[in-house]
Amino acid sequence: MSDQNAIPITVLSKTSITPTLFSFTTTRPDGFRFEAGQFVRLGIAPEQLLANAGKPKASISQKIFRAYSVVSSPYDEYLEFFSVVVPDGAFTSQLQYLQVGDTLYLNPEPFGFLTLARYQEPMPSDLWLLATGTGIAPFLSMLGDLNTWQNYQNIVLVYSVSKQAELAYVDKIHELTEQFGKLVDEPAKLHFVAIVTRENMADCFNARIPILIENGKLEERLDLFFNPATSHIMLCGNPQMVHDTKEALKNKGLSMNRRGVGNIAVENYW
Ligand SMILES: Cc1cc2nc3c(=O)[nH]c(=O)nc-3n(C[C@H](O)[C@H](O)[C@H](O)COP(=O)(O)OP(=O)(O)OC[C@H]3O[C@@H](n4cnc5c(N)ncnc54)[C@H](O)[C@@H]3O)c2cc1C
What's the number of CA atoms in the CB half-sphere (13 Å) around residue 150? 6
Using one digit for the tens of pLDDT, what is the confidence trace for 225-256?
Answer: 999 999 999 999 999 999 999 999 999 999 99
What CA–CA distance (Å, rounded) separates 55 from 114? 35
For the CA of 85, the closest atom of ligand 1 is 26
The distance from CA 41 to its chain's CA centroid, rounded to whole angstroms, is 14
Q: Which residues are within 8 A (CB) of 118 and not within 5 positions of it... i.e. 6 or more apart?
A: 257, 260, 265
Q: Please, which residues bridge with residue 157 across strands?
A: 129, 192
What CA–CA distance (Å, rounded) separates 64 from 44? 6
Quickly state the pLDDT bin for 144 (edges 50, 70, 90).
very high
Q: Tell me which residue has its CA closest to atom 18 in ligand 1.
A: 66
Using one digit for the tens of pLDDT, what is the confidence trace for 29-68?
Answer: 999 999 999 999 999 987 766 566 555 555 567 899 999 9
Q: Sketch out the chain's domains with CATH numbers.
A: 3-111 (2.40.30.10), 116-268 (3.40.50.80)
Q: What percent of the chain has pLDDT over 90?
A: 90
Pocket residue to mutate for ligand 1, from 66, 80, 141, 235, most atoms within 8 A of Cβ: 66
**Residue 44, Cβ density class (10 Å: 0-12 exposed, 13-18 middle, ≥19 buried):** buried
Residues with CB under 6 A from ligand 1: 39, 66-69, 81-84, 86, 89-93, 112, 133-134, 137, 267, 269-270
Q: Tell me, what DSSP letter sits at residue 50?
A: H
* Mean pLDDT computed over 122-131: 97
Cα of 217 to ligand 1 centre, how many Å? 30
What CA–CA distance (Å, rounded) separates 232 from 262? 8
DSSP-derived 3-state class of residue 172: helix
Are 49 and 94 contacting, i.e. CB atoms less than 8 angstroms apart? Answer: yes
Using one digit for the tens of pLDDT, what is the confidence trace for 146-169?
Answer: 999 999 999 999 999 999 999 999
Residue 93 backbone phi and psi in degrees, to 5: -65, -20
